[in-house]
């Protein structure tokens, strides 16, 4: 068994390594040759000098697994692969693509007889050791071909499934991430309130560790949070800034399109937007209005 | 007709002036003698040197109108007034007291035979010219006594009413302010989005002025906002900080106690909390978690 | 002066009538001939038997004003108009189109030399008497041509403006409606809490009327609400169902795309989604979970 | 070792059983004699005929552990216990009391020299087998006395800690439950969106099971949800009604009192309020307003 892994960053690199450790051959390519060389040296990966080179090193029904940034990079890579592949070959997009794009791409590839699996991938940097969670969308025949790879990538052959037609893998992953945003925000708010209750002077590291055992909120996120708080809970070196990937945004847009109230997923996203907003124009407007009707003092900037 | 006005700040001072301009005698007291002197000079108010002095200058059924900061100051003032008043006299609390406190105070004063009206007062600094909006809670007999004063304080004898029993005046004002928070936040968000659509380069002063005429969102808040944006819409001198009085908080607590979803009133309050939070500890926690599971870079503070 | 008005429903019909009352000639068309006939009879409108007929009855620089449902109907009508118009003629879309569609349509029409104004229109059924609020997006030269019509449609020549390039008229209207949702929800929540405070037994008609005079929340929405509550505040005949047009949804999507927190506009929309959801599947899931971890009883459906 | 367990319902009964299985003597009392008899028969518990009888069956430093409904029942029981106990004896309140009440009760008992531990208890019906999570608030000397009991009640002597002064145990549990609300709501919203994407026809049981292995959202709540969905995901027999205990409400009030934005915890609570609201008065008001300004049709009830 062998596949080509295109994109060897945090996710793709670890997945290549895990496959190799499970005796699956991987020919890998990334523009960053350091990533390539490290996998060659440490894990015995076969190196390719280009995507075309990687494809040429596969035989029979070729499988090209993309772990690339969503958007134009993935779009262009898929288009570039078309002339390099034969009918029946399979492209897997394991990145965080918008599911609507995956639906379009699947249809486009189907016109060329090329199989497409949109694979929602969860597990973060811990997937290498713990196994990933994989959500396959696409034709069942192609998902079946990918089963042995999924077995290697997941823990004890669990944590993967063919969930539905093209697009449904990334859709499922999108919702997963929406839920993740909500859970993270729930913990952040709760811990913030514990810290804010200053007269109790509570120890967040102790409490998060405690909750890991027997409480209703026990979860992997809590495990990691407890671990991360062990050394430092002041977090003075960390900026109050939270990035957001596209997935949280798409989930909210999906809810609007479905006409479904998803308030937790939405306010969790908005909290991140707030953290990214250094100007606070809406606050300034509010302050202006308060001054206008009530004569309340406006706080000067600086 | 005559009453004692205790507290001559932005609200009390203007109310005293409006009463005087409507030929109602006012004896006024404030610890700030500048406030007192200005009203004596400009409006012909009678000055008192203490609350007791003010009360002593009233005759017959005495009316003492308090325009004081809510909380202990109002609480103590009401208690101090008890020995100075006779059965049938009336204390009006026109400040922003919590309605539950007003209920308790009304009961306490009733034991001494002293009437109590909790008067929700809206109108801000514009009430002097435009007239106030007054919501009287308490026994109808006392509200009736206050009718002529309300006629002077409101525009064309409109904008006041006896709404219900003790506490209901401040309750109604509390809800009014909750709604006000929601409306302000709605405008702030909308205008923020207009500003954020940079390729249209829209003029907030033009648009808010435009909306004043014939649109569904026309309102007094919009009038003031349009006026305030005329000279400056960059708002660089204004800090992105919005204070909140107790009213918005009490409204949210009321909703929780009633078991009623009031999401707009709540998130409007939370937006102000966000603006007041310079630490962003919850954001730091989120950033920490993202790093913990996904290896996402944490942004360093400074 | 003369224009063709296509679509003579609640909005278009009233606008035609207002133009006619201001001595502007209107040739009108609607598939509903009752609408047409009524305007002919009551207001002296010139009837057309088709859009082509309406266009043929214009001279010189032709102006075709569309007041149609957004989406495919407007899209198709604009396309159908292209062969009927000459360079320099103007199409006005006064409906609630998505601003991105208007941007695309403006570009498409520009290729044919046809002017396009996307006109955000506010005022509802009251515009006939009170005047509308019009937000013109598009080239200034075309907006200038429409100025006399705007003067007739608005109160005292106020309430209209050329706000920016193509799309910005509908964009501004979209945000306007987002704000409207927020304001409506703020009032609905506040009044719901007043009603919920049963021991005060407050009168919503009295309080809303009261607030109209001098309060900070005075607004046109409050005027209408007070009027509507006068006869009945039990609302037993009204179903707890609130429709939403596209505008509120687009505003929330816009906020997500800008990465801007707009919590009030969002939760106001979500409240409507809740009202439309007769199944409550998410509630069932919560009930299921509570049962699963805590053994809490599940309430049976009927 | 021996303690008295007062209240032998779902939580207290299971905790008594777990203690007994760990060779700790329990004398138990509940008004429901069935509960008592079952524990006597199945687990070898010693029965008491009253609280006084239970206390009389303890020796030395007496420990009375209350697992009662929060509020007046707990309040009265604690007061009734005072004359029955000696200096140095300990009352444990393991129920879901408001932490401010616990602070007051702790102070009251301290005046009588009686120790008080407010013990936040998590784990639900699964605690019997899996062990509970216990958060002790109070003087460390009393928490130390309770250590051996905690060892029996938790899994492998983990899952308990003395977190801080009186009140902090229930405070910590309150926040825990707030987070729990948020997590539950995050899952409910996400799964609702998956179900709502009808063209994918996804299997919620498959997806929740899948996510248990390697995904970022893996958690005990997910474990239970996956299990519960195995047999039925239509949930037609379950009413869309979600009860809320006091804890979620108190958490939101705490956030307001701290002036901290906790949007996820808040909207999660509000979702439950929505589920409990069969009248939808706020929706009726919105529908009324839409009709008032836009002439939009109102949907009739029934």
* CATH number for the domain that contains residue D264: 1.10.1040.10
DSSP D3: E
Element (H, E) at A133: strand A133-137
Strand arrangement, sheet containing C2-6? C46-47, C25-29, C2-6, C63-66, C90-93, C115-122, C133-137, C160-164
Closest by CA to A73, choosing from A92, A97, A46, A106, is A97
CB A31 within 8 A of CB A12: no
Structural tokens at position C35: 């609408």
Residues 23-82 in D contacting A (C-alpha not used; CB under 8 Å)? none
Residue-level pLDDT at A297: 86
The label of the residue with tokens 């008004």 reads D31
pLDDT in tens, A8-31: 999 999 999 999 999 999 999 999
Task: Report the CATH number that the domain containing residue B85 is assigned in CATH.
Answer: 3.40.50.720
Q: Are residues C187 and C138 in the same domain?
A: no
**pLDDT band with cut points at 50, 70 and 90 for residue A51:** very high
The predicted model gives A165-192 an average pLDDT of 98
Enter the tokens of residue B152. 């002077």
Cross-chain CB nearest to D186 (options A186, A194, A261): A186
Distance CA C44, CA A182 (A): 59
Confidence bin at A226 (pLDDT 50/70/90): very high
Active-site residue, selected from the candidate residues B62, B173, B247, B254: B173
Distances (CA, A) of B4 to A123, B16, C230, D118: 71, 9, 36, 51
How many whole angstroms separate alpha carbon B137 and alpha carbon B81?
A: 19
Across chain C, where does the E strand assignment appear?
A: 2-6, 25-29, 46-47, 63-66, 90-93, 115-122, 133-137, 160-164
> Which candidate, D4, D94, D19, places its Cα nearest to that of D49?
D4
| Residue C135 near residue C161, CB atoms below 8 Å | yes
Mean pLDDT of C204-222: 97
Q: What is the mean pLDDT of residues A67-75?
A: 96
- Angstrom distance (rounded) from CA B207 to CA B198: 15
Number of domains in chain C: 2
pLDDT of residue C258: 97
Last residue within a domain, chosen from A165, A193, A226: A165
Q: What is the pLDDT of residue C190?
A: 98
Task: Answer yes or no: do C9 and C131 share one domain.
Answer: yes
Do residues B289 and A204 touch, judged by C-beta distance below 8 A? no
Instruction: Give me the percent of chain C exceeding a pLDDT of 70.
Output: 100
- Put the strands of the sheet holding B46-47 in their side by side order: B46-47, B25-29, B2-6, B63-66, B90-93, B115-122, B133-137, B160-164
Residues in chain B: 302
Residues C191, B252: contact at Cβ < 8 Å? no
Of residues D187, D225, D288, nearest to C235 (C-beta): D288
Is C302's pLDDT higher than 80?
A: no
Decide which of C165, C189, C215 is a domain's last residue: C165
CB contact under 8 A, B193 and C182: no
The answer to whether residue C187 sits within a structural domain is yes
Percentage of residues in chain C having pLDDT higher than 90: 94
Q: Quick one: C39 and C126 in the same domain?
A: yes
**Ranges under pLDDT 50 in chain B:** none
Q: In this structure, are B131 and B269 located in the same domain?
A: no
In chain D, residues with a C-beta closer than 8 Å to the C-beta of A156 are 213
Pairing of strands D160-164, D2-6: unpaired
D42 with D8, same domain?
A: yes
* A266 to C262: CB separation less than 8 angstroms, yes or no: no
Confirm whether A209 is domain-assigned. Answer: no
D41-63 average pLDDT score: 98
Residue D282's pLDDT band, with cuts at 50, 70 and 90, is: very high
Q: Indicate whether A297 belongs to any domain.
A: no
pLDDT tier, A173 (very low <50, low <70, confident <90, very high otherwise): very high
Distance, in Å, from the CA atom of A294 to the CA atom of B121, rounded to the nearest integer, reads 12
Q: How many residues does chain C have?
A: 302
User: Where do runs of H (alpha helix) occur along A44-126?
Assistant: 51-56, 72-81, 99-111
How far does Cα A172 stand from its chain's mean position?
A: 12
Query: What is the chain D residue with the closest CA to B281?
Result: D260
Instruction: Give the model confidence (pLDDT) of D122-136 as tens digits.
Output: 999 999 999 999 999
Q: What pLDDT, on the 0 to 100 scale, is given for residue A296?
A: 87
Q: Do C184 and D126 touch (CB under 8 A)?
A: no
Distance separating alpha carbons of residues D165 and D162, to the nearest angstrom = 9
C-facing residues of B in 124-143 (CB < 8 A) are 124, 127, 130-135
Residue B159 lies in a domain: yes
d(CA A61, CA A92): 13
- Pairing type for strands D133-137 and D115-122 reads antiparallel
**pLDDT given at position B235:** 96
* CA atoms lying within 13 Å on the CB side of residue A239: 14
What is the Cα–Cα distance from C95 to C74, expressed in whole angstroms?
A: 8
Of the candidates C178, C150, C153, C182, which has an alpha carbon nearest to the alpha carbon of residue C163? C150
Residue A302 has pLDDT above 70, yes or no: no
Give A47→chain D minimum CA distance, Å: 28
Is there a single domain that holds both residue D144 and residue D182?
no
Structure tokens at A299: 């706080």
Among candidates B116, B101, B21, which has minimal Cα distance to B66? B116
Q: Please give the distance of CA C145 from its chain centroid, rounded to a whole number.
A: 24
pLDDT confidence of residue D296: 87
Report the neighbours of A using a cutoff of 3 or more CB pairs below 8 angstroms. Answer: B, C, D
Residues C29, C121: one domain? Answer: yes
Same domain, D43 and D185: no
Instruction: Please answer yes or no on whether B263 and C189 come within 8 Å at the CB atom.
Output: yes
Q: DSSP code of A131?
A: -
Host H or E run for residue C243: none
Mark B61-89 as b/e (b = at least 16 C-beta within 10 Å): ebbbbbbbebeeebbebbeebeebbeeeb
Answer yes or no: is D221 within a domain.
no
**C186 and C159 in a common domain:** no
> What pLDDT is stored for residue C297 in this prediction?
86
Is D189 within the bounds of a domain?
yes
For chain D, say whether A273 makes contact (Cβ under 8 Å): no
- Cα A269-A273-A279 angle, rounded to 5 deg: 165
pLDDT of amino acid C96: 96
Residue that has been written with the tokens 């400074």 in this structure: B302
Note whether residue A227 is domain-resident. Answer: no
pLDDT tens by residue, A290-301? 999 988 888 988
What is the interface size between A and D, counted as CB pairs within 8 Å?
A: 276
Same domain (yes/no): A157, A11? yes
Tell me the pLDDT tens digit for each residue of C20-50.
999 999 999 999 999 999 999 999 999 999 9
pTM over the 0.90 mark? yes
A291 and B CB contact within 8 Å? yes
State the distance between the two ends of chain A, measured CA to CA, in whole angstroms. 63
Are B189 and B249 contained in the same domain?
yes
Residue B226 within a domain: no
Answer yes or no: are the C-beta atoms of B137 and B171 closer than 8 Å. yes
The domain in which residue C266 lies consists of: 174-202+239-283
Distances, alpha carbon D22 to alpha carbons B173, D16, D38, D145, in Å: 59, 10, 18, 17
Residues C181 and C278 in one domain: yes
DSSP string, D120-170: EEE-GGGHHHH--EEEEES-HHHHHHHHHHHHHHSGGG-SEEEEESTTHHH
Between residues 71 and 110 of chain B, which touch chain A (CB distance below 8 Å)?
none
**CA-based torsion, A55, A58, A61, A66: positive or negative:** negative
The answer to whether B19 and B41 have CB atoms below 8 angstroms apart is no
Q: Take residue C260 and report the two structure tokens written for it.
A: 């801007």
Measured CA to CA, the distance from residue C286 to residue D184 in angstroms comes to 6
Can you tell me the distance from the alpha carbon of B204 to that of B222, in angstroms, rounded to the nearest whole number?
A: 11
- Indicate the residue of C221, C240, C298 with minimum beta-carbon distance to D293: C221
Please answer yes or no on whether D190 and A200 come within 8 Å at the CB atom. no
Cβ–Cβ under 8 Å, residues C173 and C180: no
Phi, psi of B288 (to 5 degrees): -60, -45
The set of residues, in sequence order, having a beta carbon less than 8 Å from that of B91 and lying 6+ positions away, is B64, B66, B78, B81, B85, B109, B114, B115, B116, B117
């Amino acid at each position: 068994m062998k596949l080509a892994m295109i994109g060897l960053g945090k996710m793709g690199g670890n997945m290549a390594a895990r496959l190799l450790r499970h005796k699956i051959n991987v020919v890998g390519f990334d523009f960053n040759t350091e990533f390539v060389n490290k996998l060659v040296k440490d894990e015995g990966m076969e190196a390719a000098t280009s995507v075309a080179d990687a494809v040429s090193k596969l035989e029979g029904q070729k499988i090209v697994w993309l772990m690339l940034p969503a958007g134009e990079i993935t779009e262009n890579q898929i288009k570039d692969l078309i002339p390099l592949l034969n009918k029946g070959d399979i492209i897997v997009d394991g990145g965080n693509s918008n599911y609507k794009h995956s639906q379009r791409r699947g249809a486009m590839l189907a016109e060329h007889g090329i199989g497409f699996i949109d694979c929602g991938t969860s597990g973060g940097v811990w997937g290498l050791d713990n196994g990933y969670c994989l959500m396959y969308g696409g034709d069942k025949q192609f998902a079946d071909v990918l089963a042995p790879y999924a077995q290697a990538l997941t823990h004890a052959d669990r944590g993967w499934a063919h969930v539905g037609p093209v697009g449904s893998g990334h859709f499922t992953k999108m919702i997963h991430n929406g839920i993740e945003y909500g859970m993270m925000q729930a913990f952040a708010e709760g811990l913030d309130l514990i810290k804010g209750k200053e007269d109790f002077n509570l120890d967040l590291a102790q409490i998060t560790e405690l909750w890991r055992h027997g409480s209703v909120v026990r979860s992997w996120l809590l495990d990691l949070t407890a671990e991360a708080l062990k050394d430092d809970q002041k977090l003075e070196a960390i900026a109050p800034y939270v990035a957001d990937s596209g997935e949280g945004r798409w989930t909210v847009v999906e809810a609007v399109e479905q006409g479904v109230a998803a308030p937790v997923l939405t306010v969790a996203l908005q909290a991140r937007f707030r953290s990214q907003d250094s100007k606070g124009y809406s606050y300034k407007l509010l302050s202006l209005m308060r001054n206008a009707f009530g004569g309340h003092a406006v706080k000067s900037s600086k």
